[in-house]
Every structure is written in C-alpha cells, then in structure tokens.
Structure 1
Amino acid sequence: MKTRQANAANASSRRSPMFVKKILAPRWLLVGMVGVLAACSTPMPPGPLPAPARSGPGAPAGPAGPSIVRESARWQPVPWSDLPGWEADATARAWPALLAGCGKPAAGWAAACASARALQAPDDARVRAWLQRTLQPYRVTALDGSAEGLATGYFEPLVAASRQRSRTHGVPLYAAPPGLAQRKPWYTRSEIETLPAARAALKGREIAWVADPLDALLLQVQGSGRLAITEADGRKQTVRLAYGGHNDQPYQSVGRWLVERGAFTLEQASWPAIKAWARANPGRVPEMLAANPRYVFFREEPLPDPTIGAVGAQGVPLTPGRSIAVDPRAVPYGTPVWLDTTEPQPWSPTPPPPRPLQRLVLAQDTGSAISGAVRADYYWGWAEGAEDRAGRMKQPLRMWVLWPVTR
C-alpha cells in the first residue's frame, strides 16, 4: 500500500510509496504488508520455482544482444519462449497500465510508447504481437548472478470510519500537527496516547475515527487507504486517506515483536495471523502497538473515481493485479515485467501444491523494503480479499524485463 497519492510508501517500513519516488513522500511507508513483518528479518520464500521452459519449435526467439548492467541488477537477453506461461496470460489486461506508464515514460521509451498509443483494438493477440515485435525480454539477476528472489504483496485498505467519536468508533486518524517538521523526532506512539502536550498538539487534527486500532495500524503501515465515512449528518461517502508525514521515530515491526514472544513462528507470520492474535489477546493490543514507536499522519483527498488506484512512485495510478513496486536501481519505472511466482495461501504444515502466478505487470512503484534485483511487491488493489492475499504473500520469484529493441 500507500497511496501514492501522497506517495507514501509503507509508512512504516517503507517504500517510497508504498505506498513515490518522485516522492512527494517517502514510500518507505508503503511497502505493503512486508512493512508489518519485515523487521522479522528478511523472509525467505518457501522454495524454488521449477526451471523455466526453454526454447521450443516455432517459439518466437526475439533478437539477441548484449546483457545490460544496471546499478543493482544484470539483464540477460533471452528468447520469448523462456518466459513461463507467456502464451497463457491475458496480456490486454496489462495494456491500460502500460499506456498509463507511457504518460511518464522511462528514457528510451518514446518511440515504443508512440507505437503503443497507435495500436488499434488491443486484444490479447494484438498486444502480445506488439510486445514481441517491439520489445526484447531480459532475465533479471543480481550482479552476482542470482536469479531467485522474493515476491510480496500490498493493497489499498478500505476502512469504515466516522467523522465523530463514538462508543464504537474511538480510534483517531490524525492530520499532521503544526510544527511537525520543527520537532524531530516528534512524540512516540505511546507518548501520543499518554502525554498531555502531544494530545494538545493533535487536538482538532482528527480526520476521522475508526473502530479497531488494528485498522489504524494497517492504514499507517500501508501509508494510505480509503475511508468509507459516515458524516455527522448521516451521509456516507468514500474518500482517500493519503500519507501526510510521520513522527520520525524508528519503525519496529509488530510481526517481529509477536514472533519474539512466541505468538507464532516466522513462517506463520502474516497480517491475518497478527489479527487473529489480537482478537485472542485484546488486553495486550496496546502493548503490541506500543512496540512500534513510529506514528503516521494523513491528509484527506477526494476520490471522484473509485475505480482508479492510488498514485505510485512513477506518478501514475496503480492497476490492481498489473502494477508492482520494484527497486528502481534494478528496474526503471514504467518497465513491463514478466513475473513467475505463485499465489499466496494460508500456512499449513502440509500445504497443497502452489498455483502459478505468471503475468505481465508494470513497474510503477517502490518502497524502502523493496530492495534488490529480483524483488517485487505485487499490488492487489482494494477489492474484497486483497488484504488477505497481500498479507499472506511471501513467494519465490523470478522475473524478466521487457525493453525496447534497438534497431
């Protein structure tokens, strides 16, 4: 998450949003659910993926060429047949995200973007043909040659809120206090809850009130979200809650705090597991929250079109299921990326075989926990189920970039 509108990346660990590296605000925030768990040490994916399919008769080969070395990655040219599942993806579903990215294209993309805008009736076949005609696939590896990495997920929370404090809605979401930048660090999370001076500084800065302190934490970790607000006169509306700054205190993962206290193992750690622990231990929730001294502030923005995602680090709206956050030192914003990973599933001592997640996505965001060559944070959007999938995603990953052919 983060809305990049502000561009907040994981407000807690975060990425530039996830919630911007144009960054109006540090996306370190947005790093998705990894922000809740990351400090548990870098989670390792559950196991290797099968080797990619090699070239076969009749497969489009793609032009050969030299490898490309970037600041933290090496790209090795490969034939199109090396991309696992390439022929099965509904590539036209990624086309709007690609065109959006062409609004702020990477260097070297001007001609390709002009060609993309001119493509008529972009169905799956035409999009796939355009990609294979215009772009060259490159296998992404670390500089040391490692080709295996990690895929995590983030999303845009939708939380019910009220303009007025009530018996059921008693957890405030604050706008940044005046003078926040002049006092660094600002008060810790615990001090905000207990010190009169901190509470006085925030008096009247309440944007809205939510029912569950974990909802507030989730919004802070994601860096942004949506509020389904009940106004004082009873009207209902949905607004965007964008990143508005933080207290400059160090981020500490509540997931790590729980693992260290034996609530669950690192392998079992997920946002659903954290919520289950909180439901079973309501009296210890304040103690858990206090373990993270970082506190995130917000600003409210209108949401005229609820079908449009938060703005990512590239400066364009994110597309659910087709946008990812990357390390821009390895993959420039706007680059089409082929992902080869698996879908997240609940932890089990005897898990079923993983389902492949192989699709075309666009690199349109980043986050502080998103570091390294083969590293992606997958944007699940805001629909029902997005929170659960993002919270469980910690999968093995291989990735390929698609880059304009030099003729």
Structure 2
Amino acid sequence: MLADAFSAARLVAVAFADLPGWTDDDHAAAFTAFRRSAVRLTDKAPTTKALGPEGAALVKKGRLALELGEAVGPADARAFFETHFKPFRVEPIAGEGFVTGFFEPEVDARLQPSLAFPVPLLAPPRGLREIGTDDDRRNLDPALTWALEDGLGRLAACPDRGAIMAGALDGRARPVAYVKSAVEAFFIHVQGAARLRLPDGDLLRITFAAKSGHPYFPVARLMLERGIVTSAAEATADALRAWLEGLAPQERRAALIRNRSYIFFREAPVDDPALGPVAAAGVPLTPGRSLAVDRSLITFHAPVFVEADLAAGPFRHLMMAQDTGSAIIGPARGDIFFGSGDAAFALAARVRDAARFTLLVPREG
C-alpha cells in the first residue's frame, strides 16, 4: 500500500529529528485533536486509502490514546507520537506540496427572506445522492458525482449553480436560511459550513449535506485570466471577495456560475464554540490542528506534520487528516482549518503557499 499509491507520490522514511519545528510544536494540542479522531476511530474504522496508513492500525493507536485520558502534557503527548508512529515524508511524483487555509464563516442571517436578506442557502432536494459504482450512468455526464434519483431508481443530473440561482429548484429544495448577498453565499459554499447569527442572538450552524455533483471550478482563476492578479499566490480569498463585490451584478453572476458545483446544507447545533463543524471524517474541526486532505489518497484521522512558510510566519505543526474538499487534490495538498469568524478568515484568506507534508504511519504492535 505504501509503495504503490497509484504512482502519485512516494513515502520516504525520515526521523522525527529531521522535521523542522517538531520539538517546538505543542504536542498536547495535537494529541487532543487525535483523541477526537480516536473516539470516531473506535466506533468506525476508516477506509484505508492509497497512501495509507492502514485504517485498522489507526484504530489500535486511537484506543491507546483514549486509554491515556485527556490530561496528557506536552512531553507525554510527544512521546506518544514518537513511540507509536513512524514519520514518512510525502514526495509527490509531479509538482510540489501546496497548502491553503479554510475557515467557518460567521454571518448575519434570517430564517425568512427579505429585501436585506434575499439569497437562500438550500437543503438538498429529494432524491439527491452520490452516484455509486454500480449505478447506471449511461445518460449522465461522466464528470458527475451526485445525481437526482426518481421513484423508479433512475438517475438524472441535478441543476448546476447557474440554473439553481435562476430558480430551477424553487419549491423542490427547502431554504435553510437567507443571507445578504450571492458573494456571501458563495463563500459559505466554498467553505462547506457556516455559523449564522440570527436576530435573537442565537447561532445556527449549517454544514455540508450534499452537492450538485458538477465539477468544481476555482473562480479565483478568473482573476488570473483577466490580469487582475499576476500570480496564483495573489489570488487569495480576500482578493477574490473584493473583486467579486466590485463587479456589476450581471458580471458578478457570470463569474460565480463558472463554478457549476453547488453545495446543499443541513442544520447542526453549536455544541462547543471553540470547535468547528463536524467534518467529513465525522469529528469536529480543531482550529490549527485539523487538515483537509485528498480523501482518495490519505486515510482519514492520520496524523500529518505540515511545514510551510506562511505570511503570518512559519507553520510547523502536527495536524489530523479530518476533512476533505473539492479543490484538495493530490498527495501533497492540504487545507488548514483556522477556526470560525472574521479573525479566522483573515488568517485563512492569505494562505496559498508551498508546503511539505510528513505522514505519521502507525508502528506495528
């Protein structure tokens, strides 16, 4: 499993001493994030992916972490990882490592539409589901990953972003809430979750429930194509937001619908304001410790040491593979969760940097 990896990358054994910043990291914080994964691991073993590590081996280490309890100090936490895992540098066959940042938006919202809050965030329409390997997709675009199933089991394409914005699902998809602008809704779609501030002061969390299944297109690429920015590094989330908001309404709509992928949401409680939403791996995201990875290559819950030189300073931290995303493709590709709200956005929006990733593989026994 480790040697093959679909020729996407090779894993090179290294020592913990070879990892810049390893000794300076807060291993207790990393251990806390791993224990959150451990709760899920012991309930449901993750599927082993191309680069590994083995899901069953992670389950064993998760049980050990739970046995140690919550009050584990930095020294003991570091000893846990060094004793029970071996570090392997991820070296992609083509290209180099790259890291971005994501966050959970926190915005004002309403449960009913108004002139000030006209843009809906939708729940999935009935019958929308992932396309399985055994499904008949003869009448579907090969690029589709989700589709609408009728009462006879037949699949049809879900409307894309442009069609949905034009009303194709009106009366078929329930609005969960309404926000102020299409740009605000778009960024919530990109992040896959949000905290919504309601007039009575309550917080409502919405999280990913389904998607249209159409291919994802990075709208920030339009800024490069049109000469708004001169490099991909300049096409940050805050630059994209400012550019979109400065466009005329029809130009803005034309830019947004280039990304045909559309995200649908479900309501969820805000149990712990310090944590993010429950992610694809089934655990709540931990700011600075949860990493989105390519789920076809990296097994969920695996510890990954990330090295990058961000605008805010050097980033050398042990993280947990707990989420994924449409734009996260490749063996040395990661997306760092920075938290919720405007402060987290300010951090995440500037991250588009070269990075190195080291996968921690469970030792035998």
Q: What is the Cα-based RMSD across aligned positions, in Å?
A: 2.6
Q: Which one of the candidate residues 306, 317, 335 is aligned to 2:302?
A: 335
1:185 and 2:157 aligned: yes
- Structure 2 distance, partners of 1:95, 1:251, is 34
What is the CA-CA distance between 1:288 and the residue it aligns to? 2.2
Return the TM-score normalized by structure 1: 0.71
- Identify the residue that residue 269 of structure 2 maps to in structure 1: 302
- Structure 1 distance, partners of 2:89, 2:215, is 36
Contact kept, 8 Å, 1:241 with 1:301, in 2: the verdict is: yes
What is the CA-CA distance between 1:150 and the residue it aligns to? 0.9
Counterpart secondary structure, 1:381: strand
Contact kept, 8 Å, 2:216 with 2:327, in 1: the verdict is: no
Return the TM-score normalized by structure 2: 0.79
Aligned length: 323
Equivalences for residues 2-401 of structure 1 within 5 A: 68-71=2-5, 72-103=8-39, 104=41, 106-119=55-68, 121-142=71-92, 144=93, 148-178=96-126, 181-182=148-149, 184-194=156-166, 198-202=169-173, 205-230=174-199, 235-267=200-232, 268-283=234-249, 284-344=251-311, 355-401=313-359
- Structure 1 distance, partners of 2:327, 2:282, is 19
- Structure 1 distance, partners of 2:177, 2:59, is 44
User: Taking structure 1 as reference, are residues 289 and 370 closer, same or farther at Cα in structure 2, changes over 3 Å only?
Assistant: closer
What is the CA-CA distance between 1:329 and the residue it aligns to? 4.7
- Structure 2 distance, partners of 1:132, 1:244, is 37
What is the CA-CA distance between 1:68 and the residue it aligns to? 4.0
* Cα shift readout 1:78-123 (whole Å, capped 9, x = no counterpart): 2221010111111111111111122215321344333323336411
Unmatched 5+ stretches in structure 2: 46-54, 129-147, 150-154
User: Taking structure 1 as reference, are residues 304 and 400 closer, same or farther at Cα in structure 2, changes over 3 Å only?
Assistant: closer
- Structure 2 distance, partners of 1:292, 1:175, is 19
User: Taking structure 1 as reference, are residues 304 and 148 closer, same or farther at Cα in structure 2, changes over 3 Å only?
Assistant: same
- Structure 1 distance, partners of 2:164, 2:2, is 49
Q: Which amino acid aligns with 1:185?
A: A
Counterpart secondary structure, 1:152: strand
* Cα shift readout 1:322-381 (whole Å, capped 9, x = no counterpart): 011223454322221111112246xxxxxxxxx210011111222333232222111112
User: Taking structure 1 as reference, are residues 310 and 340 closer, same or farther at Cα in structure 2, changes over 3 Å only?
Assistant: same
* Cα shift readout 1:279-325 (whole Å, capped 9, x = no counterpart): 33344323322333333322222323333322223222221100112
Contact kept, 8 Å, 2:89 with 2:357, in 1: the verdict is: yes
Counterpart secondary structure, 1:254: coil
Counterpart secondary structure, 1:192: helix
What is the CA-CA distance between 1:214 and the residue it aligns to? 0.9
User: Taking structure 1 as reference, are residues 200 and 375 closer, same or farther at Cα in structure 2, changes over 3 Å only?
Assistant: closer
Contact kept, 8 Å, 2:12 with 2:90, in 1: the verdict is: yes
Q: Which amino acid aligns with 1:102?
A: A
